[in-house]
Amino acid sequence: MTDEKDRLGTTLKKKERGEEEHYFAEQDRERIAKLRAKRAETEAAGQIAPSCPRCGKALVERDRRGVMVDVCDAGCGMWLDTGELELLAEREKDSWLSRLIGSRS
């Protein structure tokens, strides 16, 4: 009798886990649909702005030592476009960054 009870408990736990996974998968699908709709809306309006890869908020261009870099206002970080790292390294002749970039060449 106890063996049958254990199998029933295991089956119920599996069912609960499946329902939970289904719930979260549905939540993810809804979030993705909202993000796609928002992106389509901004593209249609001609406002294609880069977004933060971590939080999804729009990135703002800021001047850093004469180089325009993309910065997240939420504090997630700073992102560089092609060539911007090299420009920053050139401006910092004696820095570790300049030595790192210079050693790759």
Whether residues 41 and 2 fall in one domain: yes
- Tens of pLDDT along 2-17? 566 678 888 889 999 9
Look up the domain containing 76 and give its range. 59-104
Helices (H), the chain: 2-44, 84-91, 96-104
User: Given phi > 0 = left and psi -120 to 50 = alpha, else beta, which region is 56?
Assistant: left
d(CA 67, CA 61): 10
Whether residues 66 and 33 fall in one domain: no
Task: Say what the pTM is.
Answer: 0.43
Q: How many domains does the chain have?
A: 2
Kindly report the number of other CB atoms within 10 A of residue 12's CB atom.
10
- Tens of pLDDT along 21-62? 999 999 999 999 998 888 777 777 766 667 888 887 888 888
Determine the pLDDT at residue 26: 94
